[in-house]
Amino acid sequence: MKLLVVTDLVAGYGKTVVINGVSFDVELGQVIGLIGPNGAGKTTLIKAVLGYLKPWRGKILYEGNDVTGLPAHKLARLGIGYVPERGGVLRTLTVRENIELAASMSKHGGDKLKEVTKLFKIIEERKTQIAGTLSGGEQKMLSIAMALVMASKLMILDEPSAGLAPIMRKKVVEVLKKINKEFGISLVVAEQDPTVVLETAEVVHVIEMGSIVKSGKTHEIIKPEVLKEYYLGM
């Protein structure tokens, strides 16, 4: 079953077109990767899909329903979890308050809290710590946990590994695999660095200058030379 179908999406800021006719879909239980360089339009695409930015053209179907143009809070209510590039946690609240806030904002978040707490040790171990005092990697984990509490079938993650040390990036990979396998949640993972996508996604779309320029099975798209190019170009 197709969980999310995005067709010919066009979006931008002011009069500037940034996303120029993008189409992709996500099957139930699937992990897809969106890779592309800085400024390619990954964040803009995600914001247009999630209702933070009104699409100029195109169509978005979620579970078969037309959700094009719905505001972000309504899409969140449908159970689409979002891990933003930055600012996913409320820095002045404790870890516990953050996760409880996420649970209170979702329809069935309360039921999931226990399972999510089991997966993210940080929730128990650091429950009274102010979120802003966590390390970058810990804040990212908390942000992922919050999105999981709110997600029923789909999570969209905007550069979850950006700025993280290799060990933390590995933990992100592990946690994403578990979210997909154990919770049965489909994932859309946008990354500039192809490594997390390589280890998690089944299908990859390459986005450049607001368009998908290449799509295919992950191992066909992210070949060793692509990785080499990426690291040399950094």
Ligand X SMILES: Nc1ncnc2c1ncn2[C@@H]1O[C@H](COP(=O)(O)OP(=O)(O)O)[C@@H](O)[C@H]1O
Which are the contacts of 212, defined by CB distance < 8 A and separation ≥ 6? 22, 23, 24, 205, 206
Closest to ligand X by CB, 102 or 190: 190
- What is the smallest separation between the CB atom of 32 and Mg ion, expressed in angstroms? 16
**Per CB under 6 A, which region of 34-42, 58-66, 95-103, 116-124 contacts ligand X?**
34-42
Work out how close the CB of 46 gets to ligand X at its nearest, in angstroms, rounded to a whole number.
8
| Site for ligand X contains 51 (CB under 6 A) | no
Please give the backbone phi and psi of residue 17, each rounded to the nearest 5 degrees, phi first. Answer: -75, 130
CA distance 61 to 18: 21
Nearer to Mg ion, 43 or 143 (CB): 43
DSSP label at residue 94: B
Residue selected from 43, 143, 161, 180 as contacting Mg ion according to rule CB under 5 A: 43
Of the pair 121, 213, the CB lying nearest ligand X is at 213
* Whole-number Cα distances in Å, 195 to 14, 70, 146: 34, 33, 23
Q: What is the DSSP letter of 207?
A: E
Near Mg ion by CB under 5 A, which window of 15-23, 34-42, 143-151, 180-188?
Answer: 34-42
Kindly state the tokens that stand for 9. 């999406």
Residue with tokens 């993280």: 164
Of residues 123 and 206, the one with the C-beta less far from ligand X: 206
Q: Which is nearer to ligand X, 100 or 158 (CB)?
A: 158
Place of tokens 């990785």: 227
Q: How far apart are CA 136 and CA 141, in angstroms?
A: 9
Quote the least distance from Cβ 159 to ligand X, whole Å. 7
Confirm if 106 and 179 have CB atoms less than 8 A apart.
Answer: no
Residue from 26, 31, 33, 44 touching ligand X (CB under 6 A): that is 44
CB of 164 to ligand X, least distance (A): 17
Number of residues engaging Mg ion in binding (CB under 5 A): 2
In the list 40, 122, 134, 146, the residue contacting ligand X (rule: CB under 6 A) is 40
Give, as ranges, the residues between 7 and 26 that touch ligand X (CB under 6 A): 13, 18
Main-chain dihedrals φ then ψ at residue 201, nearest 5 degrees: -90, 150
CB-based contact 41:207 (threshold 8 Å):
yes
Helix or strand holding residue 103 (H, E):
helix 95-105
- Select the residue interacting with ligand X from 2, 8, 39, 92 (CB under 6 A): 39
Note the residues at the interface with Mg ion (CB under 5 A): 42-43
Site residues (vs ligand X, CB under 6 A): 13, 18, 36, 38-44
